[in-house]
């Protein structure tokens, strides 16, 4: 999100700023905090990709009023399914505790409307086990990402720019092609070799058939050109070499 464009979008009805740490790369949390303070707004972050990323030696989950985290099986830390919400206000924490458990105050009294938002013990057990390996997972993903960098020096595609002062979690390895034609050519060659990268994010959310259609030119441009290459704990150098050879060959023909 571009902080320079936030203020012009604020109206008397605005209550909060909602921003996403895309691919685990932090938003400009300082600028957003300043805007929020100026206008008396709350800040909510989508931190689904942010586990393990630190900004100025603090977890990204420490910024903003509320941050949501995803622990889905595709994330670098997971509990098979589920997630978490972090916050800085004890009263908000109490309210969320009610909301995730049907709003129960006692078995017969209710504090508010709620849902069944609890994780089960099996999810918790999986998460506790995975925490034992998170250091190795983060280090392995970093090494694999840097190896991709070294092998794709000649690939005509952009990379994300990680914000200064960040200890990055290397949760994804997105590449941004000059245009969709180049992306589709690369995707076709990878698929022919049983490699199936994800066009993450696609489609642009403003094009979903159940939302009011609004122009979002930056998003619409990027979703046509960005693709995440395979990146997972244990991916081998040989596998990365194979992927990179296909990408470099695809851009020649």
Helix, strand or coil, per DSSP, at residue 185:
helix
In this predicted structure, what is the pLDDT of residue 228?
Answer: 98
In this predicted structure, what is the pLDDT of residue 252?
Answer: 87
In this predicted structure, what is the pLDDT of residue 8?
Answer: 95
In this predicted structure, what is the pLDDT of residue 15?
Answer: 98
Instruction: State the Cα–Cα distance between residues 15 and 45, nearest whole angstrom.
Output: 14
Q: How would you write the pLDDT of the chain (253 residues) with one tens digit per residue?
A: 899 999 999 999 999 999 999 999 999 999 999 999 999 999 999 999 999 999 999 999 999 999 999 999 999 999 999 999 999 999 999 999 999 999 999 999 999 999 999 889 999 999 999 999 999 999 999 999 999 999 999 999 999 999 999 999 999 999 999 999 999 999 999 999 999 999 999 999 999 999 998 899 999 999 999 999 999 999 999 999 999 999 999 998 8
Predicted model pTM: 0.92
- Cα–Cα distances (Å) from 136 to 77, 132, 162, 185, 218, in that order, read 11, 9, 21, 34, 35
- Cα–Cα distances (Å) from 83 to 73, 98, 115, 120, 123, in that order, read 10, 16, 15, 11, 10
Residue 176's DSSP bridge partners are: 158, 226
In this predicted structure, what is the pLDDT of residue 253?
Answer: 80
Strand order in the sheet with 166-167: 58-59, 54-55, 166-167
- Cα 197 to its chain centre, rounded Å, is 16
């Amino acid at each position: 999100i571009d902080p320079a464009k936030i203020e012009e979008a604020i109206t008397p009805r605005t209550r909060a700023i909602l921003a996403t740490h895309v691919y685990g790369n932090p938003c400009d949390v300082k600028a957003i905090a300043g805007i929020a303070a100026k206008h008396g707004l709350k800040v909510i972050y989508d931190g689904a990709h942010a586990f393990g990323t630190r900004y100025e030696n603090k977890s990204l989950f420490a910024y903003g009023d509320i941050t949501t985290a995803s622990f889905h099986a595709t994330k670098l830390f997971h509990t098979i399914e589920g997630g978490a919400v972090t916050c800085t206000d004890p009263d908000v924490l109490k309210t969320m505790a009610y909301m995730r458990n049907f709003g129960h105050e006692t078995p017969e009294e209710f504090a508010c409307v709620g849902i069944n938002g609890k994780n089960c013990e099996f999810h918790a057990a999986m998460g506790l086990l995975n925490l034992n390996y998170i250091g190795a997972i983060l280090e392995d993903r970093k090494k694999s990402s840097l190896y991709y960098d070294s092998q794709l020096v000649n690939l005509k595609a952009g990379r994300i720019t990680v914000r200064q002062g960040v200890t990055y979690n290397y949760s994804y390895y997105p590449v941004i092609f000059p245009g969709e034609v180049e992306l589709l050519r690369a995707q076709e060659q990878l698929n022919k070799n049983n490699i199936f990268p994800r066009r993450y994010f696609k489609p642009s959310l403003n094009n979903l058939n159940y939302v009011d259609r609004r122009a979002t030119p930056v998003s619409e441009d990027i979703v046509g050109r960005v693709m995440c290459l395979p990146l997972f704990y244990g991916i081998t150098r040989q596998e990365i070499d194979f992927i990179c050879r296909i990408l470099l060959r695809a851009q020649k023909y």
